[in-house]
């Protein structure tokens, strides 16, 4: 049965706001005023990707019969904001804590990979939005921002999927690679594909 505690809902909302503001600050070039105006957009292209990433961990853990609850990290929230100011977002404002008698290596791996898979689904959705609109002068004038934000949503969700699969202690990747290295490699390669597509326009500008 799906249950949310009051503290969990509070932590999710705070983390959602902080990570959305962090990316808004990054995208605004450290202009707090502009960052505030960008929050509605970053809520959509980043914030919800983060929330559903964490909820995916929770839902899968509960499916296996465990108690799972999201808790924010004060240090992680602070680091998220500080790194955003210096041009990079360390996107680890909290985590889902799982409680149970025995968590197998396979269960732990599947629970851990659920978040990145969710981000990749978001990346695919944003990519489909991006490529579904006809690219001509009229549509760029009318929906140019939608092009940009859909592209950004694809890139950032791909980045979140990749970041969480880094094989570092505390991140999902360390648990996934212990369970199934091949699955881990596939997720990392697909995630990097979206990240590379995000960098492609910049790399192209260096060539032409």
CA 79 to chain centre: 16
Q: Are 89 and 23 spatial neighbours (Cβ–Cβ below 8 Å)? A: yes
Looking at residue 91, the DSSP 8-state letter turns out to be: -
* CB neighbour list of residue 136: distance below 8 Å, 6 or more residues apart: none
Please tell me which residue in 8, 54, 75, 101 is annotated as part of the active site: 54
Does the active-site annotation cover 54? Answer: yes
* CB neighbour list of residue 201: distance below 8 Å, 6 or more residues apart: none
Structure tokens at 73: 């990290």
For 165-200, b/e burial (b = at least 16 CB within 10 A) is beeeeebbbebbbebbeeebeebbebbeebbebbee
Structure tokens at 126: 């944003």
H/E segment holding residue 51: helix 48-63
Catalytic (active-site) positions? 54
């Amino acid at each position: 049965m799906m249950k949310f505690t009051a503290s969990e809902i509070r932590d999710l909302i705070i983390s959602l706001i902080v990570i959305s503001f962090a990316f808004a600050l990054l995208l605004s070039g450290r202009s707090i005023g502009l960052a505030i105006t960008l929050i509605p957009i970053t809520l959509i292209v980043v914030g919800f990707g983060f929330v559903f990433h964490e909820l995916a961990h929770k839902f899968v853990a509960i499916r296996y019969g465990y108690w799972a609850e999201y808790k924010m990290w004060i240090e992680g929230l602070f680091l998220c904001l500080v790194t955003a100011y210096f041009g990079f977002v360390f996107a680890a404002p909290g985590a889902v804590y799982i409680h149970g008698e025995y968590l197998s290596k396979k269960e732990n791996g599947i629970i851990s990979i659920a978040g990145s898979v969710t981000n990749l689904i978001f990346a695919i959705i944003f990519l489909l939005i991006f490529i579904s609109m006809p690219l001509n002068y009229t549509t760029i004038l009318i929906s140019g921002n939608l092009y940009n934000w859909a592209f950004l949503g694809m890139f950032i969700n791909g980045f979140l999927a990749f970041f969480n699969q880094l094989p570092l202690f505390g991140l999902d990747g360390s648990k996934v690679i212990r369970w199934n290295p091949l699955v881990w490699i596939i997720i990392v390669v697909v995630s990097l594909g979206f990240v590379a597509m995000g960098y492609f326009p910049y790399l192209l500008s260096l060539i032409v």
